[in-house]
């Protein structure tokens, strides 16, 4: 076995079996106790009630609109490390009232290039400039006046989305399995990964990227989700170059937006799996406590991909949250 591949194998084993000792993930027993103890007060203070179908309380916004509404606006989708934007396809399809765009940073050659590509697109959308999503339907073309811009980020994309929101580039954020700081010291093991583990993935990628990606994908799911074959619903192709994967790891190792969380004044919807091993649940609680207008939807028992095979519930949750905000900000005349 090649050295890099061997290291990747060990990394995968560490993530799943000795996370408590090395701080590499979410130990289910300790993590549940941590969530119960640390999260109770925060959830009571900030979170929105959820129903049994994973979403906000049922309301008048559950009916799916049939076409784009300028009132709804646009969504800029930012995917996670090693994942193509196609992972959001089914969620986007169930939100036809929005225009959909995505930032493609899988070939970026530096961490700065990843953030800058998303920043440029967000700026152009806010300015009302036409900017293409190759999958856009005719009704999704840019309107003359810029509509509200939501940024939806998953994992690495969530970290970038938080940075952009702190710069005032979003009218709202939707975050899946997100974190404000991915690498953590041992004392913070319930909120992230050890720096050495992320660093070790870089030479392993150069040796055998396919094996590293397979191992990483495995860690996205709980044991029950793997048993049910949930991973088969992810897009097969990554679409990321090896330099892009390395740039993404470097961004995850370096970026820290915890200090700017109070600067994020737009509403934020957090959807986070309670058994997430990539961005543990403690990371969601940290964002919840730091952002003034954040609400949390717990995806009970889910791993790192809480929207997968829950696209309808996810879309309805986003719709209900955003429409309720819009109505409160712009109430209909009596």
Does residue 125 have a pLDDT over 50? Answer: yes
Predicted pLDDT at 189: 76
Does residue 228 have a pLDDT over 90? Answer: yes
What are 133's two structure tokens? 């999503």
Does residue 56 have a pLDDT over 60? Answer: no
pLDDT band at 146 (very low <50, low <70, confident <90, very high): confident
Does residue 315 have a pLDDT over 60? Answer: yes
| C-alpha torsion 326→329→332→334, nearest 10 | 150
- Cα 180 from chain centroid (whole Å): 11
Enumerate residues 6+ apart whose C-beta is below 8 A from 48.
Answer: 56, 57, 295, 296, 297, 321
Does residue 211 have a pLDDT over 50? Answer: yes
Nearest to 181 by CA among 284, 276, 78, 38: 284
147-160: average pLDDT: 96
Cα distances (angstroms) measured from residue 66 to each of 69, 72, 73, 296, 309: 9, 13, 14, 28, 21
271-275: average pLDDT: 97
Predicted pLDDT at 147: 84
pTM of the model as a whole: 0.79
Does residue 46 have a pLDDT over 70? Answer: no
Rounded CA gap, 280 and 324, in Å? 29
Does residue 212 have a pLDDT over 90? Answer: yes
Predicted pLDDT at 64: 61
Predicted pLDDT at 32: 41
Q: What are the φ/ψ torsions at residue 288 (nearest 5 degrees)?
A: -55, -40
Predicted pLDDT at 127: 86
2-25: average pLDDT: 31
pLDDT band at 293 (very low <50, low <70, confident <90, very high): very high
């Amino acid at each position: 076995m090649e050295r890099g591949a061997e290291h990747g194998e060990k990394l995968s084993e560490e993530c799943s079996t000795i996370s408590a000792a090395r701080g590499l993930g979410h130990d289910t027993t300790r993590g549940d106790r941590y969530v119960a103890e640390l999260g109770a007060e925060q959830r009571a203070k900030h979170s929105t009630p959820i129903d049994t179908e994973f979403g906000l309380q049922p309301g008048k916004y559950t009916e799916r609109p049939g076409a784009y509404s300028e009132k709804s606006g646009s969504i800029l989708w930012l995917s996670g490390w090693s994942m193509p934007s196609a992972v959001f396809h089914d969620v986007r399809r169930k939100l036809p009232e929005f225009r959909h765009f995505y930032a493609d940073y899988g070939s970026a050659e530096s961490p700065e290039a990843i953030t800058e590509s998303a920043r440029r697109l967000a700026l152009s959308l806010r300015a009302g400039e036409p900017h293409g999503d190759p999958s856009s339907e005719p009704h999704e073309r840019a309107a003359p006046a810029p509509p509200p811009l939501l940024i939806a980020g998953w994992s690495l994309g969530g970290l970038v989305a938080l940075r952009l929101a702190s710069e005032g580039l979003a009218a709202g954020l939707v975050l899946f399995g997100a974190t404000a700081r991915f690498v953590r010291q041992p004392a913070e093991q319930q909120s992230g990964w050890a720096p050495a583990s992320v660093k070790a993935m870089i030479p392993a990628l150069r040796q055998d990227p396919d094996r590293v990606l397979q191992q990483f994908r495995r860690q996205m799911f709980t044991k029950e989700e793997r048993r049910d074959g949930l991973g088969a619903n992810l897009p097969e192709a990554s679409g990321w170059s090896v330099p892009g994967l390395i740039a993404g790891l470097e961004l995850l190792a370096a970026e820290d937006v915890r200090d700017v969380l109070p600067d994020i004044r737009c509403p934020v919807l957090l959807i986070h799996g309670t058994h997430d091993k990539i961005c543990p649940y403690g990371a969601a609680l940290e964002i919840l406590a730091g952002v003034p207008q954040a609400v949390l939807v717990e995806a009970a028992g889910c791993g790192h991909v809480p929207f997968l095979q829950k696209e309808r519930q996810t879309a309805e949750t986003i719709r209900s949250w955003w429409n309720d905000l819009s109505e409160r900000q712009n109430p209909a005349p009596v």
